[in-house]
Amino acid sequence: MDEEEKEKWIRAGRIGKEVREYAASIVRPDMKMLDLAIKIEEKFYSLGAKLAFPPNLSINDLAAHYSPKFDDQLILRKGDTLKIDIGASIDGCLSDTATTVVVGEKSTPLVDASREALENVVKIIKPGMNIDIIGETIEKTIRDRGFSPIVNLGGHGLTKYNVHEGEFIPNVNQSSGKKLRSEGVVAVEPFATTGNGYVIDSTPGEIFMFQSKRSIRDKVARDILDYIESEYRTLPFSRRWIIDKFGKVANYALDVLVNSKALYRFPVLKEESGGIVSQFEHTFLFDKGEVIVTTA
């Protein structure tokens, strides 16, 4: 990786960390989820970054991919377990980082379990290492505290303008024998739950991503797709951002684009047995044998 590019990945990480800490510090009982999302977005812009993906603000048994809609009415309640999963983009160089807060309260053992799992990964992670060892470390830490790791969520590689590319890094030892990349960027994200440890698709969410080139007859939908391709490329984006730009006609246009498979719409992910879910995440940069935790 050349120095200029490396600097951008590191800066994306530093901004991700700063926004994560800022977001966790402003969470209050009775706060609107929409207000939290907007404050997070404004913070990224004020620090000179774009977002790698819409803020994922998932509570309780929702594990990931909840992001508020333009007229969202959801209000955070004291005791909600809130995952804040966010990332910065600097010219497509990305970060992906998460923390969990219990609204209006101190941490819980469930939250401590995923935090400690990530801390244990930070201690052992090496470029090109056996992925099973990471899974085993996460699984053991979480099970020792009496919780379950989520088996079908996990870390992933990142490349320019791609939040998920290459290896999947499970939260359990799958005895796959697979290796982590030895150069480049990965994110590791331990998820712990009081439930069985498996997520399923819930309702359709507010996060979308370019999927494939399609010829679109509808003029408005075509214009919106052109905008998406130039503004977000292959990064996920929020329906709310498109409504801000194009007005409510975007609702219908995005439906057209999803139905024609030009766009993919992410479903909200929910713990199958209704267990509460906690999550922590860091981004790691491997460069010539060196490990940099960009979001630490």
Rounded to an integer, what is the distance from CA 18 to the centroid of its chain?
Answer: 16
Which residues, at least 6 apart from 78, have a Cβ–Cβ distance to it below 8 Å?
29, 103, 104, 105
34 lines the binding site for Co ion (CB under 5 A)? no
Q: Can residue 96 be called a binding residue for Co ion (CB under 5 A)? A: yes
CB of residue 281 to Co ion, shortest distance in Å: 5
Nearer to Co ion among residue 216 and residue 269 (C-beta): 269
Residues 6+ apart with CB under 8 A from 88: 11, 12, 13, 15, 16, 19, 44, 47, 49, 50, 51, 52, 94, 95
Tell me whether residue 156 is one of the annotated catalytic residues: yes
Instruction: Please choose, out of 89-97, 132-140, 257-265, 288-296, the segment that lies near Co ion by the rule CB under 5 A.
Output: 89-97
Token pair for 1 = 């990786």
Residue 272 lies near Co ion (rule: CB under 5 A): no
Residue 86 CA to residue 104 CA, distance in Å, equals: 21
Active site residue 290: no
Task: Based on the shown chain and the rule CB under 5 A, indicate whether residue 187 belongs to the binding site for Co ion.
Answer: yes
Q: Is there binding between residue 138 and Co ion (CB under 5 A)?
A: no
144 is catalytic: no
- Annotated catalytic residue: which of 139, 272, 281, 282? 281
Query: Closest Cα to residue 55, out of 76, 82, 29?
Result: 82
Kindly tell me which of 189 and 272 has the beta carbon lying closer to Co ion.
189
Active site residue: 72, 119, 164, 165, which one? Answer: 164
- Note whether 15 and 93 are within 8 A (CB): no
**Binding positions for Co ion, rule: CB under 5 A:** 96, 187, 189
* Residues annotated as part of the active site: 85, 96, 156, 164, 189, 281
